[in-house]
Amino acid sequence: MTAPIDADTTPFLILDLARLMRTEFERRVAASALDVTPGEARILATIAREGARRQNDLADLTGLGAMSVTAFLDRLEKAGLVQRMPDPSDRRAKLVTVTDRAAPLLVRLRAIGQDLRAITRGDMSDADWTRFRELLLVARDNHLTERRCRGPREETSR
């Protein structure tokens, strides 16, 4: 018989927290009458945070499938919340940006995010919460640095 898996390892805890926060974010977006789906809200918030991006970058950043991202962007573009423009570095590609029309929606999405952070923070002190966030940033940046060092070939072979 194999030993049970420890569910409180760091990766499991991070995944659990991310899953719980994403689920609650999606529930709140769906219940908020914002006229966007939770997936569209994720795409819109990602573009607002990251700046102009290609569709394939948005799929990577959000963990959504490329076809889902395309469908979300089509609807967001039709609603006037995003625009696609030629990528100056590759005329075959398009960059996606948010429009001014998205600003009120982004304010409401930000409020949902702030509520979720308050729930997650609970009664942690300001110092503990700040340190927690700093450590998450270090861990993320360590991973991103390692990923960049490996290069695209090594990454796909793992």
Residues 14 and 76 in one domain: yes
CATH classification at residue 85: 1.10.10.10
Q: Which residue has the tokens 């997936």?
A: 39
Q: Which residue has the tokens 């940006």?
A: 97
Look at residue 49 and tell me if it is in a domain. Answer: yes
44-98 pLDDT, tens digit each: 999 999 999 999 899 999 989 999 999 999 999 999 999 999 999 888 889 999 9
Please give the structure tokens belonging to residue 71. 């469908």
Residue 132's domain spans which residues?
124-158
This prediction has a pTM of: 0.79
115 pLDDT above the threshold of 90: yes
132 pLDDT above the threshold of 80: yes
Residues 43 and 86 in one domain: yes
Residues 40 and 112 in one domain: yes
Percent of the chain with pLDDT over 70: 92
Residues 116 and 149 in one domain: no
Domain count, the chain: 2
Give me the residues paired with residue 84 across strands. 96
5 pLDDT above the threshold of 80: no
Give me the residues paired with residue 82 across strands. 98
Look at residue 41 and tell me if it is in a domain. Answer: yes
Residues 117 and 136 in one domain: no
Residues 90 and 151 in one domain: no
| CA atoms of 84 and 94, how far apart (whole Å) | 6
Look at residue 86 and tell me if it is in a domain. Answer: yes
